[in-house]
Structure 1
């Protein structure tokens, strides 16, 4: 072949319009120098994953002839009844409102395709998790960046824009232990955001994969989202049971359940019945297991966040403004010295054998440079020794 499919006119406008991976993806997939310490992804610590329990649950499944054969068949598009029941109990909603998905990104894509018209405007966190704009590209590239401040998504900023005539189809935010900004949306702002959605007729897409990983402070609640017919709540087992499962869920208003199911019937039909069956056994045969997994993980992440902060303060005193996280997997320190070039620092750090995500990758509005002076450091899957060594190398980069 001498010409690409695009040159031959073989691609749809959608396929042609999708942006090429850059920055955030490139850094995660880069081939680093040998011995590089990667502080890149929101990846659960291997020690926190219930590998033995998963193996036992799978073994019990395959030893049960009826259950094993059933797991190789189709299941309802909404998900297996037993897994939906477990999730619904955890969320405090009726099981009929649960749709099991192929991970969190699939949930975001289903939400976008269901409630965002082509070419519509969507309000997004700024800084923003880069995966959401990718999902949004399937229908629109028009976004309204909303600053993320100390108590989360700036609802008052959005309210001012709406009051002056701006109209949006949806608003997207990560309410708990924000990726990347690590903050959580306060309870009053959660209520205010829902009230805006109900007043102006847009949907709130709530991306909540880190909620279980709290090791400090108080939870701000999810009930306000679940009570509204304008909120789509997206969650996943990625951060608790492992990213390879690709199993998540949506908590939907009742009127959106059928449209979402009709949509997925034209896409993937249903989430793997085998993986649903294993997770279902894992979670239901020992009613306390999931809570033990979460407690073990949060203790581990609290320790690692503390080690990282202490190392930064000891080896780079005054170099960063740091707010200790109350949960989640990320630290979002800000460079204090304006003379330090963040891009050059990132390159030098990579040369010294430590990789992280520069803040510029998370800017919802490239014209605004507020994220540039931040670093997103992931501490979850690195040992305390690795974290101390990573900071030593970062100090050399300075």
Structure 2
């Protein structure tokens, strides 16, 4: 076992003069190992670089004036302020859980408030994934989930994702061939990074597989409220199953700084999740729950009024990006117009193009984006490497058009 030693300066060295620090845990050592999600380029970006890197909400879409108003009301009410600074329950505020339950169409007893989406995923993984079990995951994948999954296992089974979401038939074929898994992870609405949305039939088929083979579904759904075109495929197949855990968050709608999300759990999983949580963080911030609960409960239509202009804004940006690619780089990419979410996943049409070199040239020209290969969940990274992930949420249409002009220059 590797140890870390500390030595003190002295005139002579003896056992008493050398102290040995206890080693960190095996889990901590494993989590500190590099996993291939480092910086994508060694090029130092220009000071005026346009970053299309993360799923960041548009500043204009965040309800800052309303947040300021309720914050002032809270801190000028001594009784409410004092209550907001106290402990609260592990399940979360009753009023907030009831509001979420109405939107989700479930019993409030199944809702647990979390510290954002990743916290919800961590609780779900630690509750239902046995150590060392195989978990089927999206390919390409939201890579931070793989880091969460390392809390329990390194064994993943990559399953392709396309415009219709997770390839449920491919998963069914692997299971029929004898593969056994403990869970499936997928982003069903406006998948990160591939934009795809799992069809209603696909959702039913996925639930049927979970019930047939006895595994859990980890349904990560932070983009669901950002639909600006097409038809909602619904959550009922997941909510009606005792095998599905649905994870959501206010990160993409009210802002990531809140660190407030939620789980919709099968009834039998609520007690083990709460027992686990009581050994970790105890409960979500009482202050942030107080503010969000006040915002959504004081006016039951408030949240939808916040979402309506945000959806229009993201539609304008998504379509501006697609139109700019088609105008500046005709034929260079195969694109699908998004129906929601914050990402575009264009594919290079010419497989001779060196995607890594293109990313470096683009950075030198002042546009930064994520290379597709970093989203591959399996050893075959070729198909993912032919894609670019372009995030448009926090960039104006003119910035997006300029970014594409710079990308064209990089070509």
TM tier, smaller: over 0.9
SS across alignment from 1:212: helix
Task: Supply the distance in 2 between the matched residues of 1:312 and 1:252 (Cα, whole angstroms).
Answer: 41
For 1:366, the equivalent position in structure 2 comes to 379
User: Do structure 1's residue 251 and structure 2's residue 264 form an aligned pair?
Assistant: yes
* Equivalent residue for 1:380, pick from 387, 393, 396: 393
Task: Supply the distance in 2 between the matched residues of 1:28 and 1:38 (Cα, whole angstroms).
Answer: 13
1:308-319 correspondence to structure 2 within 5 Å: 308-319=321-332
Structure 2 CA distance for partners of 1:110 and 1:222, relative to 1, 3 Å: same
SS across alignment from 1:239: coil
Deviation, 1:188, is: 0.3
For 1:344, the equivalent position in structure 2 comes to 357
* Equivalent residue for 1:198, pick from 197, 211, 216: 211
Runs of 4+ in 1 over 4 A off after TM superposition: 2-5, 19-25, 27-31
Task: Supply the distance in 2 between the matched residues of 1:100 and 1:235 (Cα, whole angstroms).
Answer: 10
For 1:279, the equivalent position in structure 2 comes to 292
SS across alignment from 1:205: strand
SS across alignment from 2:305: helix
Kept after mapping to 1: 8 A contact 2:50/2:367: yes
* Equivalent residue for 2:56, pick from 43, 46, 49: 43
Deviation, 1:63, is: 2.2
Q: Cα deviations across residues 86-119 of structure 1 (Å, max 9, x unaligned)?
A: 1111111111101100000000100000000100
User: Do structure 1's residue 355 and structure 2's residue 368 form an aligned pair?
Assistant: yes
For 1:302, the equivalent position in structure 2 comes to 315
Deviation, 1:289, is: 1.3
1:1-398 correspondence to structure 2 within 5 Å: 3=4, 10-20=23-33, 24=37, 26=39, 32-398=45-411
Deviation, 1:27, is: 5.0
SS across alignment from 1:82: helix
Kept after mapping to 2: 8 A contact 1:235/1:248: yes
Kept after mapping to 1: 8 A contact 2:46/2:366: yes
SS across alignment from 2:180: coil
SS across alignment from 2:390: strand
For 2:13, the equivalent position in structure 1 comes to none
Task: Supply the distance in 2 between the matched residues of 1:339 and 1:187 (Cα, whole angstroms).
Answer: 37
Q: What number of residue pairs does the alignment pair up? A: 396
Deviation, 1:57, is: 0.9
Q: Cα deviations across residues 28-66 of structure 1 (Å, max 9, x unaligned)?
A: 999732011000000000000000000101111122222
Kept after mapping to 1: 8 A contact 2:4/2:23: no
Kept after mapping to 2: 8 A contact 1:311/1:391: yes
Task: Supply the distance in 1 between the matched residues of 2:27 and 2:35 (Cα, whole angstroms).
Answer: 18
Bigger CA radius of gyration: 2
SS across alignment from 1:371: helix
Deviation, 1:20, is: 4.6
* TM-score where L is the length of structure 2: 0.93
Task: Supply the distance in 2 between the matched residues of 1:14 and 1:32 (Cα, whole angstroms).
Answer: 35
Task: Supply the distance in 1 between the matched residues of 2:36 and 2:55 (Cα, whole angstroms).
Answer: 16
Q: Cα deviations across residues 347-366 of structure 1 (Å, max 9, x unaligned)?
A: 11111111000000100113
Report the RMSD for the aligned CA atoms in angstroms: 1.8
Q: Cα deviations across residues 101-146 of structure 1 (Å, max 9, x unaligned)?
A: 0000000100000000100000000000001100000110000000
* TM-score where L is the length of structure 1: 0.96
Q: Cα deviations across residues 218-242 of structure 1 (Å, max 9, x unaligned)?
A: 0000011011100000000000000
Please say which of residues 19-28 and 52-61 is displaced more in the overlay. 19-28
